[in-house]
Amino acid sequence: MTYQETLDYLFNVAPLFQNIGQGAYKEGLSNTHALDEHFGHPHKAYRTIHVAGTNGKGSCSHTIAAILQSAGYKVGLYTSPHLVDFRERIRVNGEMISEERVIDFVEKERTFFEPLYPSFFELTTALALLYFKEQKVDVAVIEVGLGGRLDCTNIISPDLSVITNISFDHTQFLGSTLPAIATEKAGIIKPNTPVVIGETNGHEDVRDVFSRKAAETGSPIIFAEEDNEIISSPVSQSVKRIYETKTYGTIEGQLGGECQIFNTNTILNAVSVLNDLGYNLTRENVLDGFSKVCDLTGLMGRWQVMETAPLTICDTGHNVGGIELITKQLKTINKKLRIVIGMVGDKDVKGSLSLFPKDATYYFTQASVKRAMDVNIIHSIGEELGLKGNKYDNVAEAYRNARKDADNSDFIYIGGSSFVVADYLQFVKNK
């Protein structure tokens, strides 16, 4: 099998959530345990850090990995979804798993896993945990796929659990209230294992969920918002974010999004706990990890600057909680705004679009996945909300028109969905 044939096989035999949504979701961990036993419980061969949350878990996972790499650890990093290449999900010290290893895994193991009818994510998780053992990593940062309690990453016994925040997303699986969603996320809290909670946003009922779970499991719990490390956080001329902090002095973050203020406070609290657990993470490691996170880990699509004239930025924020911070930042930009936007149909599309500025020019579009909302529908919702612009059948066409219309002094934003960003990055790669 070629690499592309292998991917086609995986995408067709094991349903891929990012393409089809609910039909790919499998509740329960029976397949995960069967795969784990088959491969000899590989995650027990190295230390792990588990990261869950509605928003920010990708940025936090990558930045923690970057700090660990800067300290000399050999670091596995498992995240989702991928944007351009499947192999982005599985990295060691920033290097993606090889195409050959992906092919070899499928060819050797398909006779075992096919009778299980596993999901794409179950197979991918099994491959990641096995690969990290083969690569003899010191520690792996494992990002939860969906929820926590029943997520197939939840078989690990981490040194530290991190839950970034709770917001409304995937409510069809996780519940329709914040405490219900928090209960699913709290499922990653393990006995006698410290947990850092990034934000509760003043929701006492959410805080109570985490506090009760930590008490039941005897787990030390740290609420990062109670120990705010950030004194101030302006954005530099290079669209990087500068943090003045209590413990680490001035930190330059390669990620410039408004949401990174909250993520950074969560990360710095996590670093403190890791040092208490015997990790050796110095101030220099922290500064290096923040300033080079994209270079060290390959992170893409987080307020990523693609061009400077016109300033062009893409961001994968895709639910109301994430888009609220993005639009807050967009409204501070004193430039003509051109917004390329599409969303998936299982999100709160109207709630998200209502947050966007009305004085921008919109290029409505749809990504190349089945979950993408039809461009005619999102265009209609946008018009109903007073967002003026045209519709385009695909992301590349929408971006090309935005770029053609823009002066060098304008600002182009591409987002609304991870899949819109993925299509845009693929277009840029193929240009």
**Same structural domain, 384 and 256:** no
**CB atoms < 10 A from the CB of 408, how many?**
9
Which pLDDT score, from 0 to 100, does residue 334 have? 86
Does the structure show a pLDDT above 50 at 24? no
Does the structure show a pLDDT above 80 at 28? no
Got the DSSP string for 378-421? HHHHHHHTT--EEE-SSHHHHHHHHHHH--TT-EEEEESSHHHH
User: Encoding tokens for residue 184?
Assistant: 């699913």
Does the structure show a pLDDT above 50 at 125? yes
Got the DSSP string for 169-205? --HHHH-SSHHHHHHHHGGG--TT--EEE---TT-HH
Asked if residue 134 lies in contact with residue 44, where contact means CB atoms within 8 angstroms, the answer is no
**Same structural domain, 256 and 163:** yes
* Element counts in the chain: helices (H) and strands (E): 17, 17
Q: Answer with the residue of higher pLDDT: 121 or 258.
A: 121
Instruction: Give the whole-number percent of the chain exceeding pLDDT 70.
Output: 94
Greatest Cα-to-Cα distance within the chain, rounded to the nearest angstrom: 59
Compute the average pLDDT of residues 266-292: 98
Report residue 201: phi and psi, to 5°: 55, 35
pLDDT classification of 23: cutoffs 50, 70, 90: very low
How far is Cα 291 from Cα 287, in angstroms, rounded to an integer? Answer: 6
Asked if residue 202 lies in contact with residue 225, where contact means CB atoms within 8 angstroms, the answer is no
Which pLDDT score, from 0 to 100, does residue 21 have? 42
- Between vectors from CA 325 to CA 319 and to CA 328, what angle results, nearest 5°? 130
**Same structural domain, 252 and 148:** yes
Least confident of 43-57, 171-185, 233-247, 385-399: 171-185
Question: Letter for the amino acid at 212?
Answer: R
How far is Cα 123 from Cα 16, in angstroms, rounded to an integer? Answer: 10
Q: E strands along 302-399, which residues?
A: 304-308, 311-314, 337-341, 361-364, 389-391
Range of the domain at 208: 3-297
**Same structural domain, 238 and 358:** no
Does the structure show a pLDDT above 90 at 278? yes
User: Encoding tokens for residue 112?
Assistant: 């075992």
Does the structure show a pLDDT above 60 at 25? no
Q: What is the pLDDT of residues 79-117, one digit of tens each?
A: 998 999 999 999 999 999 999 999 999 999 999 998 888
- Total count of domains within the chain: 2
Does the structure show a pLDDT above 70 at 292? yes
Select from 252, 243, 263, 325 the least CA-distant residue to 290. Answer: 252
The residue from 297, 327, 347 where one domain ends is 297
Q: Name beta bridge partners: 249.
A: 245
How far is Cα 211 from Cα 80, in angstroms, rounded to an integer? Answer: 28
**Same structural domain, 381 and 330:** yes
**Same structural domain, 233 and 332:** no
Which pLDDT score, from 0 to 100, does residue 49 have? 98
**Same structural domain, 172 and 99:** yes
**Same structural domain, 240 and 312:** no
**8-state DSSP, 235:** B
Which pLDDT score, from 0 to 100, does residue 236 have? 60
Q: What is the pLDDT of residues 203-259, one digit of tens each?
A: 899 999 999 999 999 999 999 999 899 999 877 655 678 999 999 999 999 998 888
Select from 353, 339, 313, 341 the least CA-distant residue to 402. Answer: 339
User: Encoding tokens for residue 164?
Assistant: 């970034």
The CATH number of whichever domain residue 192 belongs to comes to 3.40.1190.10
Asked if residue 319 lies in contact with residue 167, where contact means CB atoms within 8 angstroms, the answer is yes
Least confident of 146-150, 397-401, 402-406: 146-150
Q: Is 56 helix (H, G, I), strand (E, B) or coil?
A: coil
The residue from 241, 268, 297 where one domain ends is 297
**Same structural domain, 317 and 230:** no
Least confident of 161-170, 337-346, 419-428: 161-170
Q: Name beta bridge partners: 77.
A: 91, 141
The CATH number of whichever domain residue 334 belongs to comes to 3.90.190.20
Which pLDDT score, from 0 to 100, does residue 11 have? 84
**Same structural domain, 51 and 183:** yes
Which pLDDT score, from 0 to 100, does residue 137 have? 98
Q: Is the peptide bond before 118 cis (omega within 30 degrees of 0)?
A: no
Least confident of 37-46, 67-76, 308-317, 341-350: 341-350
How far is Cα 341 from Cα 336, in angstroms, rounded to an integer? Answer: 16
Least confident of 199-208, 378-387, 390-399, 412-421: 199-208
Residue 74: in which H helix or E strand, if any? none
Compute the average pLDDT of residues 282-293: 98
Mean pLDDT of the chain: 91
User: Encoding tokens for residue 11?
Assistant: 């995408």
Q: Answer with the residue of higher pLDDT: 234 or 393.
A: 393
Q: What is the pLDDT of residues 311-348, one digit of tens each?
A: 999 999 878 878 988 998 898 888 999 999 999 987 78
User: Encoding tokens for residue 423?
Assistant: 């299509």
Q: Answer with the residue of higher pLDDT: 201 or 261.
A: 261
**Same structural domain, 177 and 58:** yes
Which pLDDT score, from 0 to 100, does residue 20 have? 38
The residue from 297, 313, 346 where one domain ends is 297
Instruction: Give the whole-number percent of the chain exceeding pLDDT 90.
Output: 75
Q: How are beta strands 241-245 and 249-253 bridged, if at all? A: antiparallel
**Same structural domain, 113 and 32:** yes
Q: Is 275 helix (H, G, I), strand (E, B) or coil?
A: helix
Q: Name beta bridge partners: 316.
A: none
Does the structure show a pLDDT above 60 at 180? yes
Which pLDDT score, from 0 to 100, does residue 171 have? 47
Does the structure show a pLDDT above 70 at 19? no
